[in-house]
């Protein structure tokens, strides 16, 4: 960012008087903010990155107060960037305007294979943030895991379920599945069922996979006792709406076994259900 671009950005800030998905404002009138890691993390974890502008007091009608010392501020910004994993390399710009100094730190978005960027002092799970509008929100455990799974190429759907065996699956439905696979495929129809099980991930290294359990087991809870879905009927059209006597729901049903399998195909396996 050039000094002219920073000057234009300050004019836009005064016009809009708000932060955005890629813009964070910090006062830094008396010292460098102590905790920048949430914004450093959230900006690094989005494709467009973001810009932190120091010297604008958001709490006082976005007053342009300037920073206490642009040189010392840059050193302290960089010191906090070095505490991130992977390290954040900001592009710093200093502008003098009306005898006041302003500093902009451009935070680049990191490659998706390196995400999430997090503050080492809190660890990956608690130190990873995502940007929602003008707010830095802690990533959920599932969001952190999603990056981990992408980076390490996890294939959760074909992981092994130790206690499951081929005999524990519904043989009729399994046979029907294989028959449909072979229909109209002459080369596949010549392959024996055991080989097809491996090809289609019903088995992996001769062990039953999670996919097979979810699709063909009569009762998945035998292997995952805590798995279940509760369907609730509410008195209105939104969760939280109360009925005429103050009731929050009028009926509920626990879905397990075959019912659960029907629902599990409609929702991601690893969302909290």
Long-range contacts of 146-152 (CB under 8 A, 24+ apart): 147/112, 147/115, 147/116, 150/112, 150/113, 151/113, 151/114, 151/115
The answer to whether residues 125 and 207 belong to one domain is: no
State how many domains the chain has. Answer: 3
| pLDDT confidence bin for 268, thresholds 50/70/90 | very low
The answer to whether residues 121 and 214 belong to one domain is: no
**Domain containing 14: what range?**
3-152
Asked if pLDDT for residue 33 goes beyond 70, the answer is yes
| pLDDT confidence bin for 266, thresholds 50/70/90 | very low
Lowest-confidence segment of 144-158, 185-199, 249-263 by average pLDDT: 249-263
The answer to whether residues 272 and 182 belong to one domain is: no
The answer to whether residues 110 and 148 belong to one domain is: yes
Burial 38-77 (b: 16+ CB within 10 A, else e): bbbbbbbbbeebbbbbbbbbbeeebeebbbbebeebbebb
Lowest-confidence segment of 212-216, 229-233, 260-264 by average pLDDT: 260-264
- Answer with the one of 133, 152, 171 that is the final residue of a domain: 152
- Answer with the one of 152, 175, 192 that is the final residue of a domain: 152
Predicted local confidence at residue 112, as pLDDT: 93
- Answer with the one of 106, 127, 152 that is the final residue of a domain: 152
The answer to whether residues 10 and 140 belong to one domain is: yes
Predicted local confidence at residue 267, as pLDDT: 44
Give the residue with greater pLDDT, 75 vs 250: 75
Asked if pLDDT for residue 173 goes beyond 90, the answer is yes
Asked if pLDDT for residue 246 goes beyond 90, the answer is no
Q: What is the mean pLDDT of the chain?
A: 89
Give the whole-angstrom CA distance, residue 233 versus residue 14.
Answer: 49
| pLDDT confidence bin for 67, thresholds 50/70/90 | very high
Helix (H) or strand (E) holding 142: helix 141-152
Cβ pair 246, 235 in contact under 8 A: no
Predicted local confidence at residue 197, as pLDDT: 94
The answer to whether residues 248 and 259 belong to one domain is: yes
Give the whole-angstrom CA distance, residue 27 versus residue 29.
Answer: 5
The CATH number of the domain where 144 resides is what?
Answer: 3.30.950.30
The answer to whether residues 28 and 107 belong to one domain is: yes
Q: Residue 233's beta-bridge partner residues?
A: 251
The answer to whether residues 106 and 8 belong to one domain is: yes
The answer to whether residues 148 and 16 belong to one domain is: yes
The answer to whether residues 89 and 148 belong to one domain is: yes
Average pLDDT over residues 50-58: 98
pLDDT tens digit string along 179-228? Answer: 999 998 989 889 999 999 999 999 999 999 999 998 999 888 888 887 77
The answer to whether residues 27 and 146 belong to one domain is: yes
* pTM, full prediction: 0.67
The answer to whether residues 210 and 232 belong to one domain is: no
């Amino acid at each position: 960012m050039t000094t002219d671009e920073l000057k234009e950005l300050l004019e836009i800030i005064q016009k809009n008087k708000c932060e955005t998905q890629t813009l964070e404002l910090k006062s830094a009138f008396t010292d460098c903010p102590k905790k920048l890691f949430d914004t450093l993390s959230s900006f690094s974890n989005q494709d467009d990155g973001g810009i932190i502008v120091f010297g604008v007091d958001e709490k006082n009608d976005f007053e342009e107060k300037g920073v206490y010392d642009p040189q010392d501020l840059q050193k302290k910004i960089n010191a906090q960037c070095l505490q991130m994993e992977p390290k954040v390399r900001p592009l710093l710009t200093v502008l003098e305007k009306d005898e006041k100094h302003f500093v902009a730190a451009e935070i680049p978005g990191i490659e998706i294979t390196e995400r999430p960027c997090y503050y080492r002092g809190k660890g990956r799970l608690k130190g990873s943030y995502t940007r929602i509008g003008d707010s830095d929100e802690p990533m959920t455990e599932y969001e952190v895991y999603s990056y981990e799974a992408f980076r390490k190429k996890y294939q959760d759907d074909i992981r092994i379920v130790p206690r499951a065996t081929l005999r524990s699956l519904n043989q009729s439905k399994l046979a029907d599945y294989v028959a449909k696979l072979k229909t109209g495929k002459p080369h596949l129809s010549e392959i024996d069922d055991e080989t097809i099980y491996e090809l289609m991930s019903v088995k992996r290294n001769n062990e039953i996979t999670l996919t097979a359990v979810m699709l063909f087991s009569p009762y998945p809870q035998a292997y995952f006792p805590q798995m279940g879905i509760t369907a609730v009927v509410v008195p209105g059209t939104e969760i939280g709406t109360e009925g005429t006597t103050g009731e929050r729901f009028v009926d509920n049903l626990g879905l397990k076994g075959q019912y659960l399998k029907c629902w599990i195909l409609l929702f991601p396996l690893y969302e909290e259900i």
